[in-house]
Structure 1
Amino acid sequence: MAEQPAPSALQQPSLTSIFFAFFLLGITAFGGPAMVSYIRKMVVGQKGWLDSAVFDDGVALCQAIPGATAMQVTAYVGLRIRGAAGALAAFAGFGLPAFFLMMALSALYVSTSALPPVKALFLALQAIVVALVAYSTLSFGRTSLKQWIHVLIAGIAAALFLIGVSPIIVIVIAALLGIAILPKPEKKQENPVTTFQRPEKSFLIMLTMAIAFFVLLYILQPDLFEIAATMARVDLFAFGGGFAALPLMFHEVVDVHSWLDSTTFINGLALGQVTPGPIVITATFVGFLAYGFWGGIVATIGIFTPSFLFVVGTVPYYDRLHSSQLYQKMFQGILFSFVGLLLSVTVKLALAVPWSWFPGLLAVGGFISLLVGVEILWVVVAGVGLAGVVFVFMH
Structure 2
Amino acid sequence: MNQNLKREKGLLATLLEVLMVSTRLGFTSFGGPVAHLGYFHDEYIRRRKWMDEKSYADLVALCQFLPGPASSQVGIGIGVMRAGVLGGIVSFLGFTLPSVFALIIFALILKGFNIGSAGWIHGLKIVAVAVVAHAIVGMAQKLTPDLKRKAIALLALVVTLLWQTSFTQIGIILLSACIGFILYKFQKEETDSRVHFPISRTFATVCLVLFFGLLILLPLVRELTNYHWIAMFDSFYRSGSLVFGGGHVVLPLLEREFVPTGWLSEEAFLAGYGAAQAVPGPLFTFAAYLGAVMNGWVGGIVATVAIFLPAFLLILGTLPFWDSLRQSPKVKGALMGVNAAVVGILISAFYQPIWTSSILTPIDFAFAAILFSMLVYWKLPPWIIVITGAVGGALLSIG
TM-score range, shorter chain: 0.7 to 0.9
| Residue 67 (1) aligns with residue 68 (2) | yes
Whether the 8 Å contact between 1:154 and 1:339 is mirrored in structure 2 is yes
Residue in structure 2 matching 1:223, options 205, 222, 228:
228
CA separation in 2, counterparts of 1:269 and 1:28? 19
**1:343-354 maps to which residues of 2 (within 5 A)?**
343-348=347-352, 349-353=354-358
Label 1:142 to 1:13 Cα distance change in 2 as closer, same or farther (>3 A).
farther
Quickly say closer, same or farther: Cα 1:310–1:197, change in 2 above 3 A.
closer
CA-CA distance at 1:21 after TM superposition: 1.6
How far apart are the structure 1 equivalents of 2:271 and 2:285? Answer: 13
- Aligned residue in 2 for 1:141: 140
Query: Which aligned pairs between 1:1-395 and structure 2 lie closer than 5 A?
Result: 14-34=14-34, 35-114=36-115, 119-165=118-164, 166-182=168-184, 184-194=186-196, 198-199=200-201, 222-255=227-260, 257-348=261-352, 349-353=354-358, 355-356=360-361, 359-372=364-377, 373-387=379-393, 394=398
Pairwise CA distance, 1:329: 0.8
CA-based RMSD of the aligned residues comes to: 3.3
- For 1:197 and 1:287, the matched residues in 2 are separated by 32
- The 8 Å contact of residues 30 and 377 in structure 1, kept in 2 or not, is answered as no
Please report how far the alpha carbon of residue 379 of structure 1 lies from its aligned counterpart in structure 2 after TM superposition: 1.7
Shift of 1:106: 1.1
Q: Which amino acid aligns with 1:365?
A: I
* Structure 2 unaligned regions, length at least 5: 1-10
Counterpart of 1:325, as a letter, is P
Q: Distance in 2 between matches of 1:108 and 1:260?
A: 15
Worse-superposed segment, 224-233 or 132-141: 224-233
Specify the alignment match of 1:5 in structure 2: none
Query: 1:24-76 deviations in whole A, cap 9, x for unaligned?
Result: 22223333321212211211112222111111111111122221111111000
Out of 312-321 and 126-135, give the one that drifted further: 312-321
Please report how far the alpha carbon of residue 16 of structure 1 lies from its aligned counterpart in structure 2 after TM superposition. 1.9
Please tell me the residue identity of whatever aligns with 2:159.
Answer: L
> Structure 1 residue 330: deviation in Å?
1.2
State the shift of 1:157 in Å.
Answer: 1.4
Task: State the Cα distance separating 1:203 from its structure 2 match.
Answer: 11
| Structure 1 position 204, deviation (Å) | 7.3
AA of the residue aligned to 1:298: V
The one-letter code sitting in structure 2 at the alignment partner of 1:234 is S
Partners of 2:109 and 2:203 lie apart in 1 by 42
Q: Deviation at 1:190?
A: 4.2
- Gapped runs of 5+ residues in structure 1? 1-10
The amino acid of 1:43's aligned partner reads Y
Structure-2 change in CA distance of 1:327 and 1:248 (3 Å): farther
The alpha carbon displacement at 1:86 in A equals: 1.0
Distance 2:206 2:345 in 1: 34
C-alpha separation in 1, matches of 2:152 and 2:259: 25
- Over 3 Å counting, the alpha-carbon distance change for 1:158 and 1:263 in structure 2 is farther
C-alpha separation in 2, matches of 1:100 and 1:358 = 37
- Mean CA deviation greater in 68-77 or 281-290: 281-290
Distance 2:81 2:288 in 1: 29
Tell me the alpha carbon deviations over residues 105-136 of structure 1, each in whole angstroms, 9 at most, x when there is no partner: 212221224376xx122221111111100111
- In structure 2, what residue type is equivalent to 1:339? V
> 2:254 & 2:334 partners in 1: Cα distance?
22
SS of residue paired to 2:112: helix
Report if aligned partners of 2:176, 2:337 keep a CA contact under 8 Å in 1: yes
Give yes or no for contact 1:182–1:329 (8 Å, CA) kept in 2. Answer: yes
Q: What SS does the aligned partner of 1:238 have?
A: coil
Deviation (angstroms), 1:308: 1.4
Q: TM-score, normalised by structure 1?
A: 0.83
Equivalent residue letter for 1:334: V
Deviation at 1:356, TM superposition (A): 4.5
Distance of 1:20 and 1:197 partners within structure 2: 23
- Answer whether contact 2:100 2:289 (CA < 8 A) is retained: no
Q: Distance in 2 between matches of 1:164 and 1:293?
A: 34
Q: Structure 2: how far apart are the matches of 1:25 and 1:145?
A: 34
How far apart are residue 162 of structure 1 and its match? 1.4
Distance 1:42 1:250 in 2: 34
Give 1:194 deviation, angstroms: 3.0
In 2, the alpha carbon distance for the partners of 1:310 and 1:327 equals 15
| Contact persistence 1:84–1:202 (CA under 8 A) | no
The whole-number CA distance in structure 2 between the counterparts of 1:201 and 1:329 is 25
The change in CA–CA distance for 1:266 and 1:173 in structure 2 (over 3 A counts) is farther
Mapped contact 1:103–1:288 kept (Cα < 8 A): yes
Retained in 1: the 8 A contact 2:259–2:265? yes
